[in-house]
Structure 1
Amino acid sequence: MGKNLQTGERLRPIDLARGHGLSTQAVRNYEEAGILPAADRTPSGYRSYTPLHAGALRAFLALLPGHGHPTATAIMRAVNEDAADEAFRLIDESHAQLLDDRRTLRAVESALRDLDPEHTKASDPGGTFIGPLARKLGIRPATLRKWEDAGLVHPRRDPRTGYRLYDESAVRDARVTHQLRRGGYLLEQIAPLIDQVRSAGGLEPLEAALTDWHRRLSARGRAMLTGAAELEAYLRARD
């Protein structure tokens, strides 16, 4: 790999672009963003790149799937500014976020395992009032109102009385919230989990979503390994 990153060979923007299915403008944009080190100029003013630039481009493109564009850009910019510690900090933050995402997934799975499917439905097809639902969950009505204020539960109002009515989806959200609170999760930690349940359209469709979630987290973790390998090669070349 060291041979490929020797700096004697000169490359045109088109040479870098073709190897990665990019436009020459994209290569220039990457240089201007600090993703690539600054290129030398020929006497006629054209950019002149080296295999070191090609290594930077490979590292950036390898970092993208695992870290996302903003973080991958910041990592490469830090490296090119000789601020390797900042680059490593950004990488650590991405890994910490991935770990948090895995914990979130485990929390959702745990909450769903503890739910009784027969009890996630409102007993009354028209909805359940706050008092009966609170008694079923073993909590106070004030707790349900607090969850509503936090956006975790969305009851509707009875058109005649104005009282809160919890339909099947609201009962489901209340039960998932209850399970997660019992597990020690804070309301602000529960909110994204409830969003996952709602976006999946309920508990049953969420099973498929959870499988896909597992797959995406694994792919992201592996992409981080690939990105780390290419970045290490680029760091060695710079050294």
Structure 2
Amino acid sequence: MSTLRPADLAREHALSAQAVRNYERDGFIPPADRTATGYRIYTEIHAAALRAFRALVAAYGHALAGQIMNEIHDGDIDSALKLVDRGHEQLLRDRETLDTVRRAIGHLTTEDDTCTDRYPASATRTVGELASHLHLTPATLRTWETTGILAPARDPATGYRVYTPADIRDAELAHLLRRGGYGLHRIAAVVDRIRTAGGTETLAGALAEWQGRITARGIAMLEAAGRLGDYLGRLRDEDAGQ
């Protein structure tokens, strides 16, 4: 089997040789043998591991990719594959969330009759009730208020926040967009556009971008699956040859 230097592995991915050594230290690629003088000896197995890890990072993020490779190098393939499965489950949930927003987009206007149809006047809620409805904390809703996403009125008698039908709609929309990976200030801009103009053009654009990210992540997962399968196959062949 041909041998490789850290720089040889690094070059393919535009990394530094030190980054490759760090990946070895963190268990993302298997340990290298050493020469008599202490230099690392990498092989095509290490190259395949690095390709798999980098593809996993693109698909699942650095933390989860590292966990997957650590499980593999600890000899627990099933735990590694379970982590991969969870990533696919999250992608499916994101697709379903996007579909939910799309179904709701025709109703997301600030016109009184539309709000009344979706949220009767009796649907006003306190901060605790709205937080429970969205499975969030009251502190999260207060943060959204600070960034301009929500603007609840106050009960004149108690001073407590009162969320009207329009506020509930805005909170549900913010929650969905947050799940889509949007930052609070961008969500505030989307909600403000819908709140003031009554139109959904901004939201439509946001959903198109969200769809693009989901599609790209799905393709990245397919690429990662191929790289990971290649690496596992090489490990299996190496074990069989011993």
Shorter-chain TM-score range = 0.7 to 0.9
| Counterpart check, 1:18 vs 2:11 | yes
Does the CA-based 8 Å contact 2:33-2:42 persist in structure 1? yes
TM-score, normalised to structure 1's length? 0.74
| Counterpart-to-counterpart distance in 2, 1:223 and 1:51 | 22
Give the whole-Å Cα distance in 2 for the aligned partners of 1:114 and 1:56.
49
Cα deviation for residue 81 of structure 1 reads: 1.8
Q: One-letter code of the match for 2:169?
A: R
Partners of 1:36 and 1:76 within 8 A in 2: yes
**What SS does the corresponding residue of 2:24 show, helix, strand or coil?**
helix
Distance 1:120 1:88, change over 3 A: farther
| CA separation of 1:43 and 1:114: change in aligned 2, threshold 3 A | same
- After TM superposition, the score normalised by the length of structure 2 is 0.73
Which structure has the larger Rg?
Answer: 1
| CA shift for structure 1 position 87 | 0.8
Q: Could you tell me which residue of structure 2 aligns to residue 175 of structure 1? A: 169
Q: Is the 8 A contact 2:124 2:162 kept in 1?
A: no
Aligned equivalents of 2:89 and 2:189: distance in 1?
A: 25
Percent identity, aligned pairs only?
42
SS of corresponding position for 2:125: helix
Q: CA RMSD in A?
A: 3.2
Structure 2: any 5+ residue segments left out of the alignment? 133-137, 145-149, 195-199, 237-242
Find 1:89's aligned residue among 76, 82, 90.
Answer: 82
1:178-193 matches, within 5 Å, as 192-193=175-176
The change in CA–CA distance for 1:41 and 1:87 in structure 2 (over 3 A counts) is same
- Which amino acid counterpart does residue 201 of structure 1 have in structure 2? V
Is the Cα–Cα contact under 8 Å of residues 123 and 165 in structure 2 kept in the other structure?
no
AA of the residue aligned to 1:30: Y
- Distance in 2 between residues matched to 1:61 and 1:135, nearest whole Å: 49
State the one-letter code of the partner of 1:147: L
In 2, are the aligned partners of 1:58 and 1:230 still within 8 Å (CA)?
Answer: yes
What is the letter of the counterpart of residue 90 of structure 1? L
Instruction: List alignment gaps of at least 5 residues for structure 1.
Output: 1-7, 122-132, 181-189
Q: Where in structure 2 are the equivalents of 1:191-210 lying within 5 Å?
A: 192-193=175-176, 195=178, 198-202=187-191, 203=194, 204=200, 205-210=202-207
Structure 2: distance between partners of 1:138 and 1:213: 30
Q: How many equivalent residue pairs?
A: 207
Query: By how many angstroms is 1:176 displaced?
Result: 5.3
User: Which of 90, 93, 103 is matched with 1:100 structurally?
Assistant: 93
* SS of structure 1 residue aligned to 2:169: helix
Check whether the contact 1:134–1:141 (CA below 8 A) recurs between aligned residues: no
